[in-house]
Amino acid sequence: MSTFNVPTKNEVSEDNQVIFTQIEKKLGFVPNVYASLAHSDTALGNFLAFGSSKTSFSAKEKEVINLVVSQINDCTYCLAAHSAMGKMNGFSEEEILELRAGTASFDPKLDALVKLAKYTAENKGAATVAILENFYAQGYTKGSLADAILIIGEITITNYFNNAIEVAIDFPEAQAL
């Protein structure tokens, strides 16, 4: 059981209060994971800056990585949040479940991405020659590989944080695999 409370806007630093206002304007609410990061005067801003940095991947491709890595790390909060975001980015419930399982039979390019993300997350960053060759054959580049590893790192941070504090889920719960 977590001893981590989800702070309100009045319980965080002035800098984090400004960030809460920005998040509320964008999302309509402050997700519990963001609010929990605000226990630190710097973690929330640093995390949001990292997560909003430029990448060669589309929002949909980022969700591919977020879904499969969150499944590997058994993060129920991130699975709920990214299942909702996956739907917002055009994935069906069936496609989301398939992505979480580590395949994308409906799109060869996304299949190469999900397989790369799954294998590297499971194997501490390692990737086989076959996985990399398939990734590159689908049009991804060495730059795409660098961006994928950064996104894997970003979602792993939130997976670990959520698993450590057991933050209350404030998104519709993800369907079980």
Per-residue pLDDT of the chain (177 residues), as tens digits, is: 566 899 999 999 999 999 999 999 999 999 999 999 999 999 999 999 999 999 999 999 999 999 999 999 999 999 999 999 999 999 999 999 999 999 999 999 999 999 999 999 999 999 999 999 999 999 999 999 999 999 999 999 999 999 999 999 999 999 999
All residues at 6 or more sequence positions from 104 whose CB lies less than 8 Å from its CB, including other chains: 64, 95, 98, 110, 111, 113, 114
Q: How many angstroms separate the CA atoms of 62 and 70, rounded?
A: 12
Q: How many angstroms separate the CA atoms of 65 and 60, rounded?
A: 9
Q: How many angstroms separate the CA atoms of 169 and 160, rounded?
A: 15
Its pTM stands at 0.95
Name all domains of the chain by residue range, CATH numbers in brackets. Answer: 9-51 (1.20.5), 59-164 (1.20.1290.10)
